[in-house]
Amino acid sequence: MANFKFSGSIKQRVRSFLKLNSIALGVYRRHLFGQKMAGDWDANMEIGILFWRHQFSVAMNHPDIKTGRAIYESLQLLPDDVYDVTPKIEVTPKGCWYLPKNITAKATLLYFHGGGYTFNGPVSERFAAMIAHHTGARVFMPTYRLTPEHPHPAQAEDAMTAWQFLRQNIAAQELIVIGDSAGGHMSLSLLKTLKDRGEPQPALCIALCPWTDIGNRGASLKTNDRYDLVQGWMALRFGEWLDPDGKYGREALSPINWDFSGMAPVYMQAGGRENLRDMIVDFAQVQSEIGASVLLDLWDDMPHNFQAGDSLHVSSAQALRRISGAVQAVGDGSGLLPPLPNITRTASGAFVGNPSQKR
């Protein structure tokens, strides 16, 4: 089941709620006649995908992005899993700590939220709380500047500020950088910034459904439109908003073009039905070939950012267990997360021949 999170004006709330109901009626009607988006998805999964797709589309096409964000946030569907996590606002740098009641992990997590660098809101807050709950780690989520008002390098600068804030009291090897979607791009970008500056790397980078190429890469960017909440045109527009004048260029802003050998190990997750699938697979293969430490897990039945489904989906729950296992492995000194049969697609560098027990 999902909870409704309303915000903004009454007009926006009502419109979004009516649209959700219209989508739900259409899905139930089609399912009665055996017409499913995917044969192994239930009606609730399909309703969620179509509703989020609609909200993103309306928001991104609105002439005023601030109003667009308000529309996007006016109704958000949040799974009803309960997290025993306490949020604690940080003023400088602006952000929020998510502190689990029982802190069991030795590592601290620096979490960059997704949203194409353009959106934030309750979904991001819930994702941070979910990560803190499942890993048993302290999680800090900075409130970084958003596009299109603040193009690159604003996000890279904010990532470095957050990193330096945590490094005041925490050793690099006790930090894990984690991000989803654009936050995954932000996480990978931070590794490169640290390398360029000659600074220590974190113990691990966890990139969930990461944006690895800001341009048009891979057939899935179009062929998976029918399944995914994020559409191919959206990913390309996010890229345009990140670098509106082409000042930096696709190659300079796409992690797939960088050499991650000698950087922190990168653990990645992806969904087989997401638009970014091919670029994520390509990234893992390219980095594996040049000697970087990369492990990619891929769940064939899942869309973009499927981890947020938590207990609603078997694959989401398994992915969260893998994330927790990765955090625990770093903290207890048992090494890095080992490959998982039928799920792991690429494993290289430090992830190969890992003696730690499968999780």
> Which residue, of 23, 55, 78, is where some domain finishes?
78
Stronger pLDDT, 100 or 355, i.e. the higher one: 100
Query: Are both 95 and 13 inside the same structural domain?
Result: no
Query: Is residue 232 situated within a structural domain?
Result: yes
Alpha-carbon distance of 93 to 167, in angstroms, equals 13
Domain count, the chain: 2
Domain termination site, one of 61, 78, 95: 78
Assigned domain for 235 exists = yes
Which residues are CB-neighbours of 113 under 8 A, at least 6 positions away?
120, 124, 127, 128, 141, 179, 180, 183
Q: What is the pLDDT of residues 263-292, one digit of tens each?
A: 999 999 999 999 999 999 999 999 999 999
Please, what's the b/e burial string for 172-182 (b: 16 or more CB within 10 A of its CB; e: otherwise)?
eebbbbbbbbb
Least-confidence region, from 4-8, 86-90, 96-100: 4-8
Helix or strand or coil: residue 206? strand
Average pLDDT over residues 243-266: 98
**Does 359 fall in a domain?**
no
Separation in Å, CA 313 to CA 41, 273, 316 = 10, 14, 5
Mean pLDDT, the chain, as a whole number?
96
Tens digits of residue pLDDT in 111-128: 999 999 999 999 999 999
pLDDT of 356 = 40
CB 338 within 8 A of CB 349: no
Edge-to-edge strands of the sheet including 138-142? 85-90, 95-100, 138-142, 108-112, 175-180, 204-208, 266-271, 294-299, 344-347
Res. 358: pLDDT tops 70: no
Domain range for 7 = 2-78
Please report which helix (H) or strand (E) contains residue 271, including its range: strand 266-271
What is the per-residue pLDDT across 195-206, written as a single tens digit (0 to 9) for each?
999 999 999 999
> Do the domain assignments include residue 24?
yes
- pLDDT at residue number 357: 35
Q: Where are the alpha helices (DSSP H) in 171-272?
A: 182-197, 220-223, 232-242, 250-253
Q: Quote the pLDDT of residue 2.
A: 77
Strand 175-180 vs strand 95-100: parallel, antiparallel, or unpaired?
Answer: unpaired
pLDDT of residue 355: 41
> Looking at the predicted structure, is the pLDDT value of residue 107 above 50?
yes
Do 145 and 59 lie in one domain? The reply is no
Residues 148, 208, single domain; the answer is yes
Residue 13's alpha-carbon distances to 5, 24, 48, 51, 73, in angstroms, are 10, 16, 17, 14, 9
Contacts of 55 (CB under 8 A, 6+ apart): 16, 71, 72, 75
Q: Do 340 and 204 fall within a single domain? A: yes
347 and 217 in one domain? yes
Is there a single domain that holds both residue 135 and residue 248? yes
Q: Does residue 326 surpass a pLDDT of 80?
A: yes
Q: Are residues 109 and 128 in the same domain?
A: yes
Q: Are residues 189 and 282 both part of a single domain?
A: yes
Instruction: Judge if 71 and 192 occupy the same domain.
Output: no
Q: What is the pLDDT of residues 26-49, one digit of tens each?
A: 999 999 999 999 999 999 999 999
**For residue 323, is pLDDT > 60?**
yes
pLDDT of residue 332: 79
* 359 pLDDT above the threshold of 50: no
Q: Is the pTM of this model over 0.95?
A: yes
Residue 12 lies in a domain: yes
Above 80 in pLDDT, residue 354? no
Considering the domain boundaries, does residue 120 fall inside one?
Answer: yes
319 with 306: CB under 8 angstroms? yes
pLDDT tens-digit map of 116-164 = 999 999 999 999 999 999 999 999 999 999 999 999 999 999 999 999 9
Q: How confident is the model at residue 319 (pLDDT cuts 50, 70, 90)?
A: very high
**pLDDT tens, position by position, 285-314:** 999 999 999 999 999 999 999 999 999 999
Task: Examine the domain organization and report whether 124 and 173 are in the same domain.
Answer: yes
Asked if residue 357 is part of any domain, the answer here is no
- Residue 102 class from Cβ within 10 Å (0-12 exposed, 13-18 middle, 19+ buried)? exposed
Provide the pLDDT for residue 353.
Answer: 63
Predicted local distance difference test score (pLDDT) of residue 1: 62
pLDDT digits (tens, 9 = 90+) for 57-84: 999 999 999 999 999 999 999 999 999 9
Neighbouring CB atoms inside 10 A of 154's CB total 16
Is the confidence at residue 98, as pLDDT, over 90?
yes
Same domain for 41 and 150? no
Task: Say if residue 123 is in the same domain as residue 248.
Answer: yes
What is d(CA 79, CA 62) in angstroms, rounded to the nearest whole number? Answer: 27
The CATH number that applies at residue 168 is 3.40.50.1820
Evaluate whether residue 358 is within a structural domain: no
* pLDDT tens-digit readout, 167-195: 999 999 999 999 999 999 999 999 999 99
Which residue, of 78, 113, 129, is where some domain finishes? 78
